[in-house]
Amino acid sequence: MKRQRNESSEVWPRMTRRAVLLGTAQIGLMGVLGWRMKQLQVDQADEFKLLAEENRVNMRLIPPARGLIFDRNGVPLATNEPVYRIVIVREAAGEPREALARLAAVMPLEPEAIDRTLEEMDRVASFVPVTVKDRVSWDDVARVTANAPALPGITAEVGLSRHYPHGPDTAHVVGYVGPVSDYDLSLMEDPDPLFQIPKFQFGKTGVEAKLEDQLRGKAGAQRIEVNSVGRVMRELSRDEGDKGTDVQLTIDAGLQAFVEARLAGESAACVVIDCASGDLLAVGNAPSFDPNLFVRGISVADWTALNENIYRPLAAKAVQGAYPPGSTFKIVTGLAALEAGVIDPEETVWCGGYTEVSGTKFHCWKSGGHGNVNFNDSLKYSCDCYYYEVGQRVGIDAIAAMAKRLGVGIRHNVPMSAVAEGVAPDRAWKTAQYDDDWRVGDTVNASIGQGYVLASPLQLAVMVARVATGREVIPRLVKTIAGVEQPSGAGASLGINENSLRRARASMFDVVNHERGTAHKSRIATDGMEMAGKTGTSQVRRITPEERARGVTSNADLPWNRRDHALWVDFAPYNNPRVAVAVVVEHGSGGSTAAAPIGRDVTLQALYGTFPPLEAYPSDARDTAAAMQERVRAIMEGRPLPTEAGPEGSRA
């Protein structure tokens, strides 16, 4: 008995401790359950009440604000403007066609818009909002909002759309944005999730396309709660993402507008480059187009009008166009010969109107010939026969090497669409291109910028800037990205003998300022601002011996697309080069009559920074200059044009 009492006394404390621990655990568990019940039933009652009504939480991407584009002076070239749009989310709207039919009963909705929306909804995830109609009026927004209970999954929202305040003036440089297409997506290895959003604006051409990654920004995210019929109940969280990076171009908006207005009525291009920095101050193309048409959705009629225009307004001729440079290329041939030491600048070559090579006559533009001409005369009078001889002496490989040294036959790295490489042909090029040997006749043609030689206006502007400075000037279109200055295009020395460059510059000066120079009528009269330049006229058709025998047909008597191209290059001021200019007028007939006057006007505008005084023009050209300025002002200000007779083009 004593033993049993001892065992009981030992077991009882152990049982008591266990009971206490178990009771404590039970009390703790009941406390936690009670706290949780209070949280669910009291603190979160409203939230779970909504969830009890089959609410769901959706994630939506928030498109970031696209980076802005400015000119060199901070003038906006591409901005974002708020617009209203109607969107539909398939998973919340129910049967899509019925939902759109209900919407059409509330606001105007074309059948084409319904079909397009249904197609887009089939291509994207069910939670991705699809734009039914963009740029709607406030009245439409009010109707949709007022009828929200009857339109589940359909909402009105405000977004940002691209706008180009300068319209056609900067269309080819800045480019434009448009909806991401299946073709665009097929070209991307890892598409940004933003591209799943229908009608998301994506850079299509120009700077908008080339700097898309910087301008686009990073997507944000929105968590929203919707009820069983798809109506948005509240926003749970929102991350705006990162705005796109702002970009500043080297373009001067004022000069760009002048160039576009000065080229109006022509199929032409003009490039203005800063000799000190390589900055592209203007890149003009005519005719142009309004890029806002593409952002808003271009109509069939507008697209057809642009696409079928023989002047090709959609082409960025300044960088895409590849033209025979004609006599402007004589600068290249002449420098190649001077550097190779195959000519003495004072040595003369006889020009009797043609040169015979291997039984073929190669004609000078002046049928009667120029007589004995030296290096200076050859550029001043633009004598072809001189370069037929010099080209054979120096050879095509040396000419091609000099062309590339001066920027011709090189694809310059500027962020614009389809930048042309041009052609600076040599023996190896012809073998690779045509599996054929180079012939002496090819050299003769190339020596005057004909035959296989092709150059863009951008390349010609770079060429003359390099001649003017003796440096490897590199064209620069982007000045800053996110406020960070981009590398200068001033370039290092070309390594060309300075005496050779002086000879070329002096001859170019006489082209403009000597009374017998081919561009004397387009000189600048202001002391200290004189320019040096070179005219060019390039054939686009072959003149047969039979036609020469009966008399070459005048350009004025030919169809427009059979006339010669007119070209011009210059730099100014002569003693302190600040700007270089290149002009190409498609089928303009004569470099001295069609292209040089444009080049002079643009050069003066660039030097003065505004409309120059009429005293900057020769006295006999001031009336014409006054009329030109009034016409350009009218175009820039959107006023009716004054009536005036257009100049006739002729070969020079």
Q: What share of the chain is helix, strand, coil (3-state, %, to 5)?
A: 45, 20, 35
Give yes or no for a cis peptide into 82 (omega within 30° of 0).
no
Per-residue confidence (pLDDT) for residue 42, from 0 to 100: 64
Answer whether residue 557 shows pLDDT above 90.
no
Residue among 113, 249, 233 at smallest CA distance from 170: 249
For residues 271 and 261, what is the distance between their CA atoms, to the nearest angstrom? 14
For residues 399 and 425, what is the distance between their CA atoms, to the nearest angstrom? 9
b/e string for 289-303 if b means 16 or more Cβ within 10 A? Answer: bbbbbbbbebeeeee
Model confidence at 225, in pLDDT bands (50, 70, 90)? confident
Per-residue confidence (pLDDT) for residue 233, from 0 to 100: 67
> Among all chains, which residue has been given the structure tokens 């802005």?
68
Amino acid at 58: N
Given 161, 327, 456, 592, the catalytic residue: 327
List Cα–Cα distances, 336 to 285, 318, 498, 504, in angstroms.
31, 26, 13, 11
> What is the average pLDDT across 472-484?
97
Residue among 333, 432, 437 at smallest CA distance from 389: 333
Model confidence at 647, in pLDDT bands (50, 70, 90)? very low
Per-residue confidence (pLDDT) for residue 299, from 0 to 100: 86
327 is catalytic: yes
Model confidence at 615, in pLDDT bands (50, 70, 90)? very high
Answer whether residue 523 shows pLDDT above 90.
yes
Q: Which residues contact 543 (CB under 8 A, 6 or more apart)?
A: 363, 552
Per-residue confidence (pLDDT) for residue 652, from 0 to 100: 38
The pTM score is: 0.85
> What is the average pLDDT across 465-472?
98
> What is the average pLDDT across 459-465?
98
Q: Give the 3-state secondary structure of residue 353.
A: coil
Residue 40 burial (CB count, 10 A)? 12
For residues 272 and 475, what is the distance between their CA atoms, to the nearest angstrom? 10
Q: Which residues contact 228 (CB under 8 A, 6 or more apart)?
A: 53, 54, 55
User: Of 652 and 448, which is predicted with more confidence?
Assistant: 448
Mean pLDDT score of the chain: 89
Model confidence at 645, in pLDDT bands (50, 70, 90)? very low
Evaluated on CA atoms 106, 110, 111, 113, the torsion sign reads negative
| HSE of 193, CA atoms in CB hemisphere, 13 A | 13
Answer whether residue 9 shows pLDDT above 70.
no
Torsion of CA 88, 91, 96, 101, to 10 degrees: -60
604, two tokens: 């003066």
Per-residue confidence (pLDDT) for residue 43, from 0 to 100: 66
| All domains in the chain, ordered by first residue | 58-249 (3.90.1310.10), 253-306+316-637 (3.40.710.10)
User: Of 93 and 372, which is predicted with more confidence?
Assistant: 372
Answer whether residue 55 shows pLDDT above 60.
no
Residue among 518, 496, 523, 580 at smallest CA distance from 377: 518
For residues 284 and 261, what is the distance between their CA atoms, to the nearest angstrom? 9
Answer whether residue 18 shows pLDDT above 90.
no
Per-residue confidence (pLDDT) for residue 45, from 0 to 100: 65
CB 516 within 8 A of CB 381: yes
For residues 291 and 169, what is the distance between their CA atoms, to the nearest angstrom? 10
